[in-house]
Structure 1
Amino acid sequence: MSTSPDPQLPADQAGRTENEIELKDVVGLSQGEIVRRRFFRHKGAMVGLVVLVAVALLALTSVGVGPIPGWWQFTGKETTLAIVNPGGAPTLQMPTWLGGEGFAIGSHPFGQDELGRDMFARVMHGVQTSLMVMFIIGIVACAIGVLVGSLAGFYRGRLDTLLMRTTDLFITVPTIVIGAVIGKIAGRVSGWLFAVALGLILWTGLARLVRGEFLALREREFVDAARVAGASSRRIIFKHILPNAIGTIIVSTTLLMSSAILLETALSFLGFGIQPPDISLGKLIYDYQQAFSTRPWLFWWPGLFIVVIALTVNFIGDGLRDAFDPRQKRIPSERKMAKAMAEDGTGRRAYVSTVRPQDDVRNAGMGG
C-alpha cells in the first residue's frame, strides 16, 4: 500500500520559501530603504503620486503663483471676454475614436460662466487653494495631534487624563459645526488662516492613535534599556519611541488630508468656507449651483478635481501603510516560488514541477 506525502509539509515549505524570498529582497538594506522600496512597488500609490503631482504642476504652472505668471492666456477674472460657444460650453473636443469630431482644446476647454470668465483658469486657481488648504491642515493637525498624543501616552497619569478629556471635548462637538463657525470668521480673512483654523480642530483622531502607539511602545525592552542607560524622557520620546511610531503618524496624516479637502469643499459649498476674492473648488460649486441643469460643465470640472485629489491622497496613504507595516508581505509570484523551492536543496524538484505552491496551501487547508 502506497502512502501519500504529508500535506502539511508542502504548505510549510511554501511558507518558508515566501519568507526566504522576502528576506533575500531586503538583505543589506536599512529600514528607510526597505520602506522606500515597498512604497515604490505599490502600484496604486505610484499612480496616485504621479497623478497628484501632475495636477499640482498643472495648477501651478498654468495660471502662475502670486506675481509669477503662468502659460495660460487667461486669469479667470476677466469679465469682458466674448462667449465663444452658446451658453459658454467647453471648446474641448474629444478625438474621433471616442466619438468626437477630432481632438481640439480651443480657447476655453472647460467653458465659460455667464460673465465670460474662463473656467479652466478658475478651476486651476481653485485647485491651488484647495491643495494649499489640504497641506496646511495636514501639517497643523499632525503637529498638534503628535504633541498631545505623545505626551498623554508617555507620561500618563493626570496629564493623560487632562489631555484626553480635552480631546473628548473637541470630539463631542460636530466638526462641521465648528468648521462652519471658524470658516465664517477666518474664511473672510484669507485661505491660509482658514486652513490653520481647521487644523486646530482636526487633530483629535491622530492624537488618539499616537497615544495608543506610545502606550504600547513605552513598555518595550528598548525603552527600558534607554532608561537604564540614563536617557532623559525627552531623548526617549524623540530618539526611541517617535521613530517607531512614524509609520502610524504618516499614514494617519495622509488620510486626514484626504478628509480635510472634502471638509473644505463642504464648508465652501455651504458658504462658510473660502470667500472672494479667493477661489476654491468647493466655492466654485457653490457659486454655480443654480446653473446645474442648464450648464452642468460648471460642476463637472471642479467636482472631477475634488474626486481626483481625494482618491490620489487615499491611494498614497494605502501605499504608505503597506510600506511602514512590517506585517504586510508582498506575495511572490508563482515563478519565483517555484524557482526558490527547486533550488533550496531539499530534493523536492519533482514536486515543484507538477504542483503549484498555492495548491499546496489549499490542499493543506482541506486536509489533503
Structure 2
Amino acid sequence: MAKDYCVLGIESSCDETGVALVQVTDQRLPVLLAHALYSQIEMHQAYGGVVPELASRDHIRRVLPLTTEVMSASGKSLSDVDVVAFTRGPGLAGALLVGAGVACALGAALGKPVLGVHHLEGHLLSPFLSNDPPEFPFVALLVSGGHTQLMRVDGVGCYQVLGETIDDAAGEAFDKSAKLLGLGYPGGSALSELAEMGNSAAYKLPRPLLHSGDLDFSFAGLKTAVMVQAKKCAMAQGCAVEALPHVVLADLASSTQAAIVEVLVKKSLAALMRTQLKRLVVAGGVGANRDLRAQLNAECKKRQVCVHYPELHLCTDNGAMIAMAAAMRLQSGIQIPSEVYAFDVKPRWPLDAIQAVDA
C-alpha cells in the first residue's frame, strides 16, 4: 500500500447502516474524514425487536445514499477510495451479505481491493477514533449486544480472551430486563434512562459470578431475579408489571443497572490486577452507559489506571469503526486487501479466532 490512502468502511451487521471514510497518512493514527449512520430502531419498534429480513432490505435502501453522503462530506470522490472494507461478521447473515455485496461490487467497479473486518474488532479499536486514543497494551472490556468479554490486547490482531459471558451478555441483560418491565424497544437505553430516576439500593438483586475467582460473566440469573422481583411488586400493588407506579419501575431499573455495572466494574478491575496493566479500554454499546463510565472512572483514578472510551456517538454500530479497524490492520502490515470479489460472511466468528493475515 502507498503511504497515503483512503479506506471506505461499510457496517451492516444488524440494525444500523453505517458508512465512513478514513485516511491513512504518515501520522500515527488514521484520520476519520466523514461518516454517516442510519438507525432502523423506529422500524423495528413495532415488532419489539430486530426482524432480520426487514433489516436486510433496509440496508439495501440505505447503503448507497449514505455512501454518497460520506463522499460529499469528505470532499473526496469514489476514485479516491483505495480500499473498500466491510463487516464480514459476526451478525445477521442477510444483513452482512448486503454490506459485503455492496463493498465487493464497489471494489470491482473501481478496480480496488476489499477487506472483510470483524465487527467486534471494530468496536475494540473504536477508542482510537477518540480525542484521547489509548496505547498498546491494554485490557479491553467489550460490551456489545450479545457479547461481553474481557481481553488482553497487545496490538492490532493480538487478542487474548481473559473472560467472557457463559449465557446472557450485559447488553442482553439490559434489553431483556427492560422488556420484562414493559419498557419496549430498544430496552437497554430506556432502562438506563429510567434508572437515573430510581434508587439503586431499593431491591437486592444478585451479582452472578462476582466472586467466582475467574473473569467470566453470567447475566441470565439476574434477568430471572428481575422478573421475580417485578412480579412480587405487581402482586403487592394489585396490578400488572407494566402498570406499576413510575417510582417502583424506576427503582427496579436502577437496581438492575447497579447489579450489571457492579459486575462489569469489579471484573474489569480484577483483569487489570491479573495482567498488571495500567490501561483499560471500554467499547461497545453498553460502554455508553453513564453509571458504568462514572464508576470505572472513579475506580481507575484510585488505582492510577488510564481508561479510554469511544466518543458517545461511536459507541453504537457504525462505519467509522469498520474503516478504522481495516486501516489499522493495513497500517500495521498484518493483513493485505484482496482483489478477489467472491465474498463470504461469518455470522458466528469468535474474535480470538482472527488470524494475523485473514484474506
TM-score normalized by the length of structure 2: 0.26
Q: Please, what TM-score do these two structures have when normalized by structure 1?
A: 0.26
More helix by share: 1
- Which has the greater radius of gyration? 1
Structure holding more strand per residue: 2
